[in-house]
Amino acid sequence: MKLLSTFVAVAIAASCAAAKEVAPLTGEAAARYRSGEVHMELMDSKIRTHNRFRAAGAYASQQYPPITRYTPCRNGKAVTGKGTANETFACSNVDLGYFLSHADLGSATGEGSSLWGWTAPNGREFGIVGQADGAAFVEVLKDGSLEYLGRLPQQSVTSIWREIRVYKHYAIIGSEALGHGVQIFDLRKLLDIKTKSRWNPKGAPKTFSTTTDLTGLFNALPVGRVHNIVVNEEVGYAVAVGAQPRNSSCAAGLIFIDLKDPSKPTTPGCASQDGYVHDAQCLIYRGPDKRYTGKDICYGYNEDTLTIYDVTNKKNTTVISRTSYEGASYTHQGWVLDKDWQEYLITDDELDEMDGAGPGKDGFPVSFIWDIKDLQNPKQTGLYKSKTKSIDHNQYVIDDWVYQSNYGAGLRILDLSSVKKDPTGKGIKEVGFFDIYPEDDAVGGVVDFVGTWASYGFFESGWILINTIERGLFSVKYNNPQKPGRGGKGKGGGGW
C-alpha cells in the first residue's frame, strides 16, 4: 500500500498548505479507488490476518472461558480468572461486567464483526452480535450479565463481514456473502424465549429459520452482497452501501430500501454519483445551513472523500460536496456530533496507520474533526491522536462522547464537548477505555486487524457491548463517580 501514500503525498503537496481539507484525488490515484483496487487490497489484508490467526487457533473461541463476575478496573487493570497476561485487561474508568465467547453464543466459526442493540418498550435491552456464520441474540441484564437467547444463521455462506442496524423493532442484517441479501428480523420474537435454568430445565436458546422466521428479505442487490447497512428511522428506510460490483447500475453507492412495510421491502432508487460508498449516516438535516433545512442528507464515507448527498428525492439524488483531507488513505466511517444540530462530525481512516500516511504515519489512530456548517464546503478543522497504537474502525457519538472501536486497542471513549468552542481538537480528552486484546500489550499495541470490530453504547442502563473478532462479547460500564457516563447521574438520554 506504500504506492498509495506516494499518490496522497503528491496531492497534499499540490494543495493549499493552510488547509487540512484537500481537493479529491485525480488521475491514476483516483482510478485506484474507483476501480476498487484499494478496497480489494484492504479486504485481502484482513483476510490474510484472519487466515493467519485462524491457522494459529486464535479463533477457537471456546478457549476463552466465560467471565461471570463483575470486575472493577483498579490501578489500570481488570484482572480476571487466574490473573494471567491474557486474562488481565488494561483499562481506565471502565469496569468489566460479563463475557461470553462466540462458542458460548452458538457460533461454530466465531470471528466477530458488527454489533447493534435494541431496547424493548418495557426497557429490556438486547444485543445483536455479528459473527461469520450469522447473528447471535443476547439479553443484557441489569447487572451486566449476558443471556444467550438464540441466533439467526447466515442466509447463504459464511463471511467475516456482517453488518447490523435496527429499525424500530426489526434487525436489518447484511453481509458480504454472495446471495445473502438483507435479512429483516422481528426482534419481538426474543421477548418470549425461555432459556434453560434451574426453574426451566427444558428451556434452550432458539435457532431461528432463515425462511419462516424472517419478516422480510431484500433481494434486489446486484449479487446479494453488501458491505454495510445504514438506517434512517425518522424517514423509514435502510440503505445498502457498498453493494458490489462497482460496474452495476448503482455503482455500489447508496441503495435505498423502503421499510414502511418490512415484509415487502422495495427500493425507490439509489445514489450512484460518487461510486462506492463504504459507510454513511443519513439524517433529516437540522443545522445552520438553511439551504438544506428539512432535507434528507446522507454523509458518505467514500474511501478517499467525505461525500455529502441530498437524498430527499430517492429517484433524483444529488451530491452536495466531495472533500478529501491530508493523509486520506481509506475514509472509513464517521458520525455527526449532534444529530439535532449538525455543525460538526468526526471521521476515521482505516488505512492511514497501516499505510504510514499523513497524521497517522506513526501508527497511532487519528480522529478527524470536520466543520459541516456549510454542507457545500466542509472544513477539516482538527484532529485527535490516540495514545495507543492500533487501527481505528467504528465510532458513534452519544451526548458529546464518542465510543470508538480501535481494533487491538479496544473501546476508547473521548469527550468531544470542547469541539464547538475549539474545533482544532486540542480540547478532546480520553475519559475511559477498555482494552479487550491483551495479546499486544507488551509491545504497546499493533497496527493490525485484531481485537474489536464494533461496540454499542446507546443503552440507557449504561452497559456497553464490545464485539471482538477472536474472543466474543464483553459487557462493560463506564465508572467514574466524578463524571458519570450513561446510566449514571449527569449524562444519560440521547440516542442516534
As a whole number of angstroms, the distance between CA 44 and CA 238 comes to: 28
Nearest one of 69, 60, 67, 154 to 436, comparing CA atoms:
67
Nearest one of 333, 323, 315, 155 to 230, comparing CA atoms:
333
Q: What is the pLDDT of residue 199?
A: 57
Amino acid letter for position 276:
Y
Q: What is the pLDDT of residue 456?
A: 98
The residue whose grid cell reads 419462516 is: 212
Question: Which segments of 307-402 does DSSP mark as H helices, in order?
Answer: 352-355
Q: What is the pLDDT of residue 204?
A: 85
**How far, rounded to the nearest angstrom, does the alpha carbon of residue 23 sit from its chain's CA centroid?**
26
Nearest one of 345, 459, 350, 442 to 405, comparing CA atoms:
350
As a whole number of angstroms, the distance between CA 21 and CA 382 comes to: 10
Going across the sheet that includes 472-478, the strands are: 94-101, 472-478, 463-468, 452-456
- With beta carbons less than 8 A apart as the criterion, state whether 150 and 193 touch: yes
Report CA Rg, the chain: 21
The partner residues of 334 in beta bridges, in order of sequence, read 347
pTM score? 0.94
The residue whose grid cell reads 489484508 is: 45
Q: What is the pLDDT of residue 339?
A: 97
Which residues lie below 8 Å from residue 317, measured CB to CB, with a gap of 6+? Answer: 254, 269, 270, 271, 273, 309, 310, 311
Buried residues in 130-158 as b, exposed as e (16+ CB within 10 A): bbbbbbbbbbbbeebbbbbbbbbbbbeeb
Residue ranges in the chain modelled with pLDDT below 70: 1-19, 196-202, 481-496
Q: What is the pLDDT of residue 480?
A: 79
- With beta carbons less than 8 A apart as the criterion, state whether 346 and 395 touch: yes
